[in-house]
Amino acid sequence: MLSMSEIIEKLKDVIAETKIGGKVFDKDVANALNIPQATFATMKKRNSIPYEEILAFCALKKISANWLFFDQTVDMLKEQTEKFFQVRYFSDIRASAGGGAEVFNENYETISVDRTIIHNMVGTRDVELEAIHVDGESMEPTLQDGSIVFIDRTQTNISKDGIFIAATTAGLFIKRIRQRADGMVELISDNKAYSPEVLSPDEVTIVGKVVGNIESL
């Protein structure tokens, strides 16, 4: 990170763009930040950076705080940001691979996942993914208890093979799902120790398809 003196010089360059005539001094920077000149001089001597005042100045002038504090250009920031994919992570929700679990809610955090990992799951198409935990052993060895699964909620067609998240009256389930000839819906576990569960269509809502997973963090 840049020193207070270096940041002051960059602030002078910004102020000079709108100041008519004359050189820009430390007092001009102090005035722009609404800091008393004596206080500002002491802060400069001690290399004490007034973050709140500088951030307010950046917002007013519409300049990048990263450029000011770290000398990072917008292009550099964009390049780093584009390396990652944002996923809504529901850390408190478990999709049961055994019994029922709670349904989705609005309590989530956003996590950044390397785009290479996401592209390996869904290709380069534009998607919005959500992530939840697996609770139980009925999908082993495919999915381990505690694993994190990534869900594409636009994929709800159970006629295509795959693992899906299903919302039922008993909660969320993570299963292979098949609609039988008689119209009933079958929830199938990969662990052969667990028998398939059969529900009527009005008891099942397909939340989305599991497109990838990672072991529990």
Query: Over the stretch 161-202, which tens digit does the pLDDT of each residue have?
Result: 899 999 888 888 899 999 999 989 999 999 999 999 999 999
The answer to whether residue 7 scores a pLDDT higher than 80 is: yes
Within this chain, do residues 98 and 114 fall inside the same structural domain, yes or no? Answer: yes
Within this chain, do residues 196 and 155 fall inside the same structural domain, yes or no? Answer: yes
Within this chain, do residues 108 and 72 fall inside the same structural domain, yes or no? Answer: no
Cβ atoms of residues 211 and 125 within 8 Å: no
Within this chain, do residues 114 and 61 fall inside the same structural domain, yes or no? Answer: no
Within this chain, do residues 110 and 184 fall inside the same structural domain, yes or no? Answer: yes
Within this chain, do residues 191 and 135 fall inside the same structural domain, yes or no? Answer: yes
Within this chain, do residues 110 and 71 fall inside the same structural domain, yes or no? Answer: no
Domain boundary, last residue among 77, 98, 133: 77
The answer to whether residue 99 scores a pLDDT higher than 70 is: no
Higher pLDDT, 93 or 23: 23
Within this chain, do residues 58 and 95 fall inside the same structural domain, yes or no? Answer: no
Q: How many domains does the structure of the chain reveal?
A: 2
Average pLDDT of the segment spanning 73-87: 60
The answer to whether residue 143 scores a pLDDT higher than 80 is: yes
Residue 199, domain CATH: 2.10.109.10
The share of the chain scoring above pLDDT 70, in percent, equals 84
Domain boundary, last residue among 77, 108, 131: 77
Q: What is the pTM of this model?
A: 0.57
Higher pLDDT, 98 or 209: 209
Higher pLDDT, 71 or 28: 28
* pLDDT tens readout for residues 9-44: 989 988 888 777 678 899 999 999 999 999 999 999
Full domain range(s) for residue 198: 84-214
Within this chain, do residues 133 and 172 fall inside the same structural domain, yes or no? Answer: yes
- Say what the pLDDT of residue 171 is: 80
Within this chain, do residues 64 and 135 fall inside the same structural domain, yes or no? Answer: no
- Say what the pLDDT of residue 147 is: 84
Q: Which two tokens stand for residue 20?
A: 């008519």
Within this chain, do residues 168 and 115 fall inside the same structural domain, yes or no? Answer: yes
- Say what the pLDDT of residue 184 is: 93
DSSP string, the chain: ---HHHHHHHHHHHHHTT--SS---HHHHHHHTT--HHHHHHHHHTT---HHHHHHHHHHHT--HHHHHH---HHHHHHHHTTEEEEEEEEEEEEESSS--PPP-S--EEEEEEHHHHHHHHTTS---EEEEEEESSTTTTTS-TT-EEEEETT---TTSSSEEEEEETTEEEEEEEEE-TTS-EEEE-SSTTS--EEE-GGGEEEEEEEEEEE---
